[in-house]
Chain A
């Protein structure tokens, strides 16, 4: 019954989405407020039904109802409750259901908080959202129904892929989807603006909070996924330039560009056409990512050809939306009037440079991801594009970008004074150079570029600090005044500083980890001691343990430093009998921002075991950086000026402020 209800709720959501696709637009044509308002009620009702459908699938998984194919294939009655729930989106059908649920959530949010939007804009936006939703509901119902029953229900399920049985699955995909799908709002706003033929600073102000929200989630989602790979895969890699990763990185790059160009549009009424284009591109890249991941085209062109139904369906959606929106853009963009003049050296100019570098970086990733596919299909030339290629092409672009980051927020709008800004950044530059010198003297081995990169990271952080120091007048003004000014500073200024500093922090982490990472690979017997980075790691022994749905072999290591015991580390290997596969559970010992990392290989007959021990200096900075960036994003989002999207709390707050 639950499965059928869930299925039916999804069908009803499709019906509602179809109504929402058409009726509001008729309302706009007829200037009928009642018809336009249909969009908001259908969006909310749609959310209700999709959530009901999603809850139905969660219940089926929690109840281990193996008469449903999706539950049978991805669950097991002995699986811990958390993984029964997260297993809902640990498979194709369930994750698509999560995708549309989040899409409906965003639609519902616009409907709920959009009462300050002009009615016709709101109707347009929600209609476009409904087009996307309809396409994906159809996709799920036609090719990937999660509620399919099995005629003769088996008594036990086939369990979830062991690698996915981790807390990471609870956080990473929902976050990533909140980011991916969140960009659909800026897309819908862009299409609505093109259809209305009207776009102004107010439009940018409405779009920016939504973009920022999506960006925050995507940033955290990518960082979370990277940390998950780091501790789960057992060799401490955290980024692989894999097509699936690239699929999430591309919307992030263009989304970051969008965030910055929307700023120019809001403040200076310039870059309108470009902002619209970026909104379209960002969501198109999200769709492309969905296509790449869902169709299996990445594995090989041939895998795609053997079962093309899903792939072809998504490809159709892709062509329809990207092609349609770009043609609309081509037809209408010229009618949008440009405003806001600025000199090349100005805040606007800096943001244009940011956009140029981010877009080129995004294009490089896009090309690297699709080029091998295209060559195989068109020229029958099999080739690979992997990490070494991206390190060579992507890294220089980002280095240029980081070099420019501290200058941006300090340049004035319209016409900036580059020399003046350079003088104000002198202290930050000196800090960077000192960092280069110290690293150069202290470090042994490794690339000669590493100290320069560390210096760049320090420069970016110091630049962000300088901006705040300048704005609050620290050093030159009395402390009380500084405090007052700091409090008066718009939250978005703090947000910018934190987000930019986060970039520097992440860069330092990346450079330290890749350059001064030490490793020790050996076969160890009981009481063997391995020495790494000043630590003595002694293998105390091996023991076996039975988990809920796996058996695990645990190795116990005693870690000491200069004869002083530091900690006990217990990496393990788990074997899951249902799937006949195993996972390595690495043990991590955190010291400051650095980590000692132990993972196990195979044991041999004499009780010896292959062990990989790594010391990863400053590795945690890689993820603290994105967390700082996201924190900056949250600060910006809480800025009063940006909360026009949610007028009631903003107005209440305004009342509390003294009259100015």
Chain B
């Protein structure tokens, strides 16, 4: 849906290549290393694409990055080292999962804070109201509404 709707948004701004991601010739011979490469690829952004991981993208840059990731893994880097290497080269922009640091603090903490804060506030509110609140009676009907109600009631009684 993303491509489609993006195409909506940006009609013609982007040439739309057939998405094809990992090519047969890129795959590493060691399945364990290849699996690691795929896992890492899903966390890395293709910088010339719209919010696409290099695992999904068909752009030449994504291919270069995929090969680079595999090269680093082949050279014996750990996953963290590969990510560090890419961040040093391309900046935080390359990470689809932002790191937990000063600039992203709010982003990561918003969910848990809202949940805890919201739950606490609601609990207090409900308890307070259940404790000392009084049920507010519904407001009286306006004369207009009373007339309509009467009409409806007579309708009902005729019907049944």
Contacts and interface: CB of A to CB of B under 8 A. Distances in A.
Interface string A328-350: 00000000011111111000010
B52 to A, nearest CB: 7
Contacts of B98: 383-385, 389
Interface in A513-555: 521-523
Contacts of A298: 9, 50
Interface string A256-296: 00000000000001000000000000000000000001101
B9 A161 contact: no
A481 interface: no
B103 to A, nearest CB: 5
Interface string B8-29: 1111110111111111110100
B30 interface: no
B38 to A, nearest CB: 9
Contacts, number: 228
B159 interface: yes
A296 B10 contact: yes
A163 B4 CA distance: 7
A530 to B, nearest CB: 11
A299 B97 contact: no
Nearest to B52: A240
B114 A242 contact: no
Contacts of B114: 359-360, 363
Contacts of A438: none
A168 B4 contact: yes
B96 A385 contact: yes
B18 A584 contact: yes
A601 interface: yes
A644 to B, nearest CB: 11
Interface in B109-139: 110-111, 114-115, 118-119, 122-123, 126-127, 129-130, 133-139
Given A344-B123, A384-B95, A387-B42, A233 B8 contact: no
A344 B126 contact: yes
B95 A200 contact: no
Interface centre among B9, B15, B43, B92 (most CB of A within 10 A): B9
Contacts of B103: 375, 379, 381, 383
A93 B7 CA distance: 14
Nearest to A656: B159
Given A162-B16, A163-B3, A341 B129 contact: yes
Contacts of B8: 90-92, 95, 164, 173, 244, 293
B4 A344 contact: no
Name the residue in B2, B15, B97, B106 with the highest tally of chain A Cβ atoms < 10 Å from its Cβ.
Answer: B2
Contact of A161 (B12, B23, B106): B12
Contact of A228 (B4, B11, B127): B4
A244 B126 contact: no
Q: How large is the interface on A (under 10, 10 to 19, 20 to 34, 35 or more residues)?
A: 35 or more
Given A228-B1, A521-B27, A397 B19 contact: no
A352 B3 contact: no
B70 interface: no
A278 to B, nearest CB: 14
A386 B53 contact: yes
A201 B42 CA distance: 49
B138 A339 contact: yes
A645 B145 CA distance: 16
20 contacts: A90-B8, A91-B8, A92-B8, A200-B139, A225-B5, A240-B56, A293-B8, A293-B9, A298-B50, A338-B129, A341-B130, A356-B119, A381-B92, A383-B98, A383-B103, A386-B51, A386-B97, A388-B97, A521-B24, A584-B18
Interface of B: 1-13, 15-25, 27, 42-43, 45, 50-53, 56, 91-98, 103-104, 106-108, 110-111, 114-115, 118-119, 122-123, 126-127, 129-130, 133-139, 144-145, 155-156, 159-160
In order of increasing CB-CB distance, the 7 nearest A-B pairs are: A386-B96, A242-B2, A225-B1, A388-B97, A659-B160, A229-B1, A244-B5
Interface of A: 73-74, 90-92, 95, 118, 161-164, 168-169, 172-173, 198, 200-201, 222, 225-226, 228-229, 232-235, 237-245, 248, 269, 293-294, 296, 298-299, 303, 337-344, 349, 352, 356-357, 359-360, 363-364, 367-368, 371, 375, 379, 381-389, 392-393, 397, 521-523, 573, 580-584, 599, 601-602, 610, 612, 651, 654-655, 659-660
